[in-house]
Amino acid sequence: MAQIDITKFMEDNYKVSDFTHLHWQGTFQDYVDKVTEDPRIARNAFQRIHDMIMAAGETKYTEYKKEITRYHFFDDPIDGGKDAVFGIDVHLMKLVNFFKSASAGYGTEKRVLLLHGPVGSAKSSIARMIKKGLEHYAKTDEGALYTFEWFDEEETDILGGQKIFPSPMHEDPLKLIPVEVRKAFLEEVNKGVDGLKINIKGEVCPADRFIFAKYMEKYDGNWKKVMEHVRVKRLILSEKDRIGIGTFQPKDEKNQDSTELTGDINYRKIAQYGSDSDPRAFNFDGEFNIANRGIVEFIEMLKLDVAFLYDLLGASQEQSIKPKKFAQTHIDEVILGHTNEPEFRKLQNNEFMEALRDRTVKIDVPYITRLDQEVRIYQKDFNAEKIPHVHIAPHTIEMAATWSILTRLEEPKKSDLTKLQKLKLYNGKTLPGYNEDNVKELRKEAIREGLEGISPRYIQDKISNALVKNGHVGCLNPFMVFNELETGLKHHSLINSADQLDHMKEVLAIARQEYEDTVKNDVQKAISVDETAIQTLCANYIDNVKAYTQKEKIRNKYSNKLEDADERFMRSIEEKIDIPESRKEDFRREIMNYIGALAIEGKQFDYKMNERLHRALELKLFEDQKDSIKLTTIISKVVDKETQEKIDVVKSRLIKNHGYCEICATDALNFVASIFAKGDSAKS
């Protein structure tokens, strides 16, 4: 191992200037100069969080004819996507709108923000990102904020015999401007300002108020002399240091104490100050106190004891708290709670909690119902970079995600639509007879969709189990994951009825069938990948369709005789994509009209331009070639050299074009061969 000169390493990589920049100190006048130069410094907590989210950027896109905004903040750029939230952009827009409204002072700043949703739906991830984002943002010049400390070289009794007394609730220095002159000060400082205006709300905490009053007495009301004992300093928010970011987690009722929220008396200091009502003998270290200027998170908020919920009422509506033995104390912080559905239903049914319900803004955080977004969750943890020793076979993650979403979808009200088709529509696929308006309607009618079903945690756990059990094989395939998913269902703590278990198994069978169709499709494509053969087949089909639609004869290239269009040949292709006899003329005319339109533009028709025709040609070519390859001989273990060579070509195509490895390509071929073997035996 290489030796490191730690001194030189630190000199090269650590900048003292960065530290001093983040630990700036100055006079009260220095601070006022900074604020007048950049009013953002004096923002409240809601404004700061909204600006933090917006600073990360946004992307707009259209879904179901509605403009959606994706806020890049929720991609978790700070931590490389570790807590990124996908697939619920509409709900995240509601969250950002809450902060936008609160930052403008429209009333939501007096509300408790409650994230509501099923277990594992990213409520904690959103809260964690906001807290983490605030820590990071406070260290940037754009997110800078400041507090102050009292200092006195004489070590007088005012500061309790100490030289420095930091503001216990990290108050904004502007609050030291007396209330009676604030209006005139704000009019002067905001004169000619079009954008964000400086505002001062509330008074300093009891300890700062006490010290301020003592110095005012000492200097006979000379405010300027008092400010000589004030040192303004940069405030760095930190959850670990309990500065500006608080977290409260409910405990059992015997151990719950409201002083955890609003602080408690420091009995050791009573002897020093002579009274338990002296604010200097009080620890302003409750979660509400330390979270001032930032955010306080209530984990499983509705599990709190009723006494705590009353504290929430004042903290939200009045933006003040009541520490023991002291007057109402102003706070500037976002109150963020999260809860699951059973607890929220309990709140709704509790008539004594009407006041809290009225002061709560609920934002739903449901499960994802879009397949490609659900897949992104699992790809964060299960990919080649994190698991280099095991290859994850194509469709493994996708099939696990398919099952999880199927458990969350409501049964379609339209009898001609299956759950799987609904899943594909939600994922942006097209189906005959369904457009964006129909899909939008499907989403509207499914009120409970995404609030029930299997959580991503269960999927992650079972994929992990499958990797541990089958890691020695070198490749993880969908069947291994399906087996784990099914085995774990009987022990799943959230499945509490036989009907629920049966439903989960039913949709698992749908996912298995979807994989069977998908892997057959891969093998079919690998067999019929010959571009030249498909082009020849397409040209032959187009010639026959042209002759049929224009009521012409077609020249047989072998006998050179003019013959009618080959109806049997055309139907053998059209039937592959389920075009009934009654629709064949419409389909053929659509093809010819499209070719004619291209010709007018000087373009040439390519079979890849029509997805349905492309698929039909692949299936037809596969049917023509599968017998020559004799796939079914794979499972008999008796394969002649010529067939083996053809099988090896197909296998190499699966590896090269579809992401298979040697192991899963062999498994896929064996599986598809067994399907065809069953089909052949059924026919006989």
Domain chopping of the chain, boundaries: 19-366, 371-501, 528-629
Determine which helix (DSSP H) or strand (DSSP E) holds 298, and give its type and residue range: strand 295-298
More confident residue, 328 or 613: 328
- Residue 295: other Cβ atoms inside 10 A: 25
- pLDDT number for residue 161: 81
- pLDDT number for residue 406: 95
- pLDDT number for residue 245: 96
- pLDDT number for residue 684: 35
The mean pLDDT value for 542-559 works out to: 83
**Which is it for the CA torsion 399, 404, 409, 411, positive or negative?**
positive
**Which is it for the CA torsion 424, 426, 428, 434, positive or negative?**
positive
- pLDDT number for residue 319: 92
Q: Percent of the chain at pLDDT above 90? A: 49
Task: Return d(Cα 571, Cα 266) in angstroms, integer.
Answer: 89
Lowest mean pLDDT, pick from 1-15, 43-57, 128-142, 525-539: 1-15
Task: Return d(Cα 233, Cα 212) in angstroms, integer.
Answer: 18
- Least Cα distance to 657 among 528, 515, 468 occurs for 528
Which tens digits make up the pLDDT trace of 247-288? 998 776 656 677 888 999 888 888 888 888 889 989 999 999
Which tens digits make up the pLDDT trace of 417-431? 999 999 999 998 877
- pLDDT number for residue 253: 60
* 308-312-318-319 Cα dihedral, nearest 10 degrees: 110
Which tens digits make up the pLDDT trace of 33-52? 999 999 999 999 999 999 99
Model confidence at 626: pLDDT above 70: no
- pLDDT number for residue 206: 95
The token pair that represents 349 in the structure block: 């049914």
Which tens digits make up the pLDDT trace of 638-647? 566 777 777 8
- Highest mean pLDDT among 41-45, 63-67, 538-542 belongs to 41-45
- pLDDT number for residue 181: 94
Task: Return d(Cα 353, Cα 21) in angstroms, integer.
Answer: 47
The token pair that represents 681 in the structure block: 């035996």
The mean pLDDT value for 133-159 works out to: 92
Model confidence at 88: pLDDT above 90: yes
Domain 19-366 belongs in CATH node 3.40.50.300? yes
- Highest mean pLDDT among 127-136, 407-416, 653-662 belongs to 127-136
Task: Return d(Cα 253, Cα 234) in angstroms, integer.
Answer: 39
- Residue 620: other Cβ atoms inside 10 A: 22
More confident residue, 342 or 81: 81
The token pair that represents 533 in the structure block: 């053969």
Model confidence at 599: pLDDT above 60: yes
Residues 6+ positions from 417 with CB-CB distance below 8 Å = 434
**Which is it for the CA torsion 620, 623, 626, 628, positive or negative?**
negative
The mean pLDDT value for 1-29 works out to: 80
In 3-state terms, the chain is what percent helix, strand and coil (to 5)? 55, 10, 30
pLDDT category, 68, cuts 50, 70, 90? very high
Task: Return d(Cα 589, Cα 615) in angstroms, integer.
Answer: 18
Model confidence at 187: pLDDT above 80: yes
The strand pairing partners of 362, in sequence order, are 114
Instruction: Say if strands 360-364 and 112-116 run parallel, antiparallel, or are unpaired.
Output: parallel
The token pair that represents 138 in the structure block: 């406070």
What Rg value do the Cα atoms of the chain yield, rounded?
34
Chain mean pLDDT for the chain: 87
- pLDDT number for residue 610: 77
- pLDDT number for residue 256: 66
More confident residue, 431 or 134: 134
Q: Amino acid letter at 55?
A: A
